[in-house]
Amino acid sequence: MLPAPFEYHAPRTIDEALDLLDQFGDEGKVLAGGQSLIPLLKLRFASPGHLVDINKIKELDFIEERDGTLRIGPLFRHKAAERSSLLTSRYQVMADAAPQIADPIIRNRGTIAGSVAHADPSGDWGSVLLAMDADLVLRSKRGSRTVKARDFFSGPFSTALEPTEILSEIRIPAAKAMTGGAYLKLERKVGDFATVAVAVHLQMDDGKVGSAGIGLTAVGPQNLKAEKAEATLKGARLDDAAIKEAAALAAEAADPKADQRGSVEYKRNVVRVFTERGLKRAYERARGGG
């Protein structure tokens, strides 16, 4: 399969990339890992006139914890996330999700930011970022703005990102003591898109829930944040009753469609079960176990 013709640009600096995007407007598209975009181009679901490949801008490949914030650059790849000891030790929801993205060869190329900007409702990173209450920095030639993950996704493959902007940084509040997370994914076979997945990011505070983040994958028109479930947990003791109540609320927040992967009832029930399990696993990890 051959994409429609386009002009290719490989800028060496982010300013150069932003200049190009500003010049091309609707006709420009950022190419990062390309593991979703190139298949779309080949199927001619998209045919931008100009591709701005950011792979030569090496300084965009970063992860660092600084000033109370975990910062992730637009070229940080799934494979690097899978191998990051920082994520394994302090951000388990991300460490859990990384090796479950597609397959190892795709993970060598694909990036977290690219996946988020692509905004497939069955994509995994969106739910993870919703659970972690991430901020997304959207930068254009004209300046930059910060959008909450919950305000970023607006529908299937639709986001707040303008064609002239790059998702230049993902910002996540640095994990405090007693933080734990988990990502549970049901797939028909290894490497498949999720039938259902649930992201949990939990911070305990003096025996009670300081904050709980719950993101849902593949059960709505976009990645969902189970806000009622999160609210009921805040300040609560994490006992069985609280976990059950939150899981029921998360299942209610899900809005799945029946397809060959399962019925609406089935998918909702998986959300409930995974939210329970995810909260328990996250709690164990927050206390230093698991």
Partner 1 sequence: MGQPITVTVNGEQRSAEVEPRLLLVHFLRETLRLTGTHIGCDTTHCGACTVLLDGTPVKSCTMFAVQADGQQVTTVEALAAGGTLHPIQAAFKQEHGLQCGFCTPGMMLTSVALLEEKKDPTDEDIRWALSGNICRCTGYMNIVKAVKSAAATMNAQAAVPAAAAAVRS
Q: Which long-range contacts (CB under 8 A, 24 or more apart) does 138-143 make?
A: 138/162, 138/165, 138/166, 138/167, 138/168, 139/14, 139/18, 139/165, 139/166, 139/168, 139/169, 140/18, 140/21, 140/22, 140/164, 140/165, 140/166, 141/15, 141/18, 141/19, 141/21, 141/22, 142/22
CB of 3 to partner 1, least distance (A): 5
Q: What are phi and psi of 76, to 5 degrees?
A: -75, 115
CB of residue 38 vs partner 1: minimum separation in angstroms?
A: 5
Q: Which of 18, 30, 32, 51 binds partner 1 (CB under 8 A)?
A: 51
Token representation of residue 185: 């994914």
Distance CA 98, CA 104 (A): 10
Does residue 39 touch partner 1 according to CB under 8 A? yes
Among 20, 35, 124, 247, binds partner 1 (CB under 8 A): 35
- 140 near partner 1, judged by CB under 8 A: no
User: How many residues line the site for partner 1 (CB under 8 A)?
Assistant: 27
Among 14, 23, 27, 34, binds partner 1 (CB under 8 A): 34
Q: How far is the CB of 6 from partner 1 (least distance, A)?
A: 6
Distance (Å, whole) CA 288 – CA 290: 7
In the complex, the smallest distance separating the C-beta of residue 103 from partner 1, rounded to whole angstroms, is 3
Nearer to partner 1 by Cβ, of 104 and 290: the residue is 104
| 2 forms part of the interface with partner 1 (CB under 8 A) | yes
Crossing angle, helix 264-286 and helix 240-253, to 10 degrees? Answer: 140
Q: Is 58 in the site for partner 1 (CB under 8 A)?
A: no
Q: Of 108, 140, 211, 269, which one interacts with partner 1 (CB under 8 A)?
A: 108
CB of 85 to partner 1, least distance (A): 16
Q: Name which of 78 and 225 has its Cβ closer to partner 1.
A: 78
Judged by CB under 8 A, the residue of 55, 69, 88, 140 near partner 1 is: 55
Q: Which residue has the tokens 């790059």?
A: 166
Give the distance from CA 56 to its chain's centroid: 23
Stretch that binds partner 1, among 34-42, 63-71, 161-169, 278-286 (CB under 8 A): 34-42
Neighbours of 229 (CB within 10 A): 25
CB of 8 vs partner 1, minimal distance in Å: 4
Tokens of 287: 């206390």
Which of 10, 160 has the CB closer to partner 1? 10
Alpha-carbon gap, residue 214 to 229, rounded angstroms:
8
